[in-house]
Amino acid sequence: ALGQLAMAKYLLGCDVGGTFTDLILIDVQTSAIVGRCKTPSTPEDQSIGVENGIAKICADSGIERGQIEVLLHGTTVATNAVLEGKGAKVGLITSEGYRQVLHIDRSYVPGGLAGWIIWNKPELLAKLEDTVECKCRLDAFGNEVSPLDEAHLRNQLQLLKANGVEAITVSLLNAYVDGKHEQAVKQVVESVLPGVPVSMSHEVLPEMYEYERALTTVANAVIRPKVSQYISNLKQKVGDTRFKILRSD
């Protein structure tokens, strides 16, 4: 029996919240729940709370770390970064004439005819002073109307560099049809702002409607540095254990 216990494999479920980290241990063979635990979350580095939880549930259940086959992981790290305003400072690069794309959105104001008088618009994820235009254009079929003006873009990027942006979003008109201009912009960004992560709309949300595509890609840029650092720290702590990040949508 002891030999069978030593060979047993387990799935570990872990849900990281803002206050507590919850873990559950399941036997792979029988699907039986063999352990549960709750530990305090560690907002300064949520991977520490995960590590503490893994150590506790293994000790309580009498198993070795090596018996955990897969870690199934859910987290609010990304959601909380947006809600608490603790994400990256994002610079947005748009097509010429579309600098106010996040401000105009769908021109929808809730509350009826007089709603615009009392409605306080939420703070944007990319501020207007951190938004620049680049000169290039594709038509609705992805054909090039005008090429990228690289010299102009480099000048605009100096403004974002001076503003201290921590991540870049590129969202250009009709990029969902063909991402070649966004790729070209990314190459210039990487030469001017090395090490700054770049999110491109044709990769994040390759769909029409400029506002929705821009906003989604900006949100990706806001959480990207924080989530990347968290995943990197988590990989170091779980070692060779395979882990999967669960979607939160």
pLDDT tens for residues 176-188? 999 999 999 999 9
Q: Kindly report the number of other CB atoms within 10 A of residue 199's CB atom.
A: 24
Q: 87-97 pLDDT, tens per residue?
A: 999 999 999 99
Q: How many CA atoms lie within 13 A of 187 on its CB side?
A: 10
User: Using an 8 Å Cβ cutoff, are 58 and 65 in contact?
Assistant: yes
Does the structure show a pLDDT above 60 at 2?
A: no
Q: Which tokens in the block code for residue 20?
A: 């507590």
pLDDT at 113: 67
Q: Nearest-CA neighbor of 165 among 142, 138, 137, 197?
A: 197
pLDDT at 111: 66
Instruction: Give the gyration radius of the chain's Cα atoms.
Output: 23
How does residue 17 score in pLDDT terms, banded at 50, 70 and 90?
confident
Name the packing angle between helices 150-163 and 180-192 (round to 10°): 50
Q: Which tokens in the block code for residue 55?
A: 């150590």
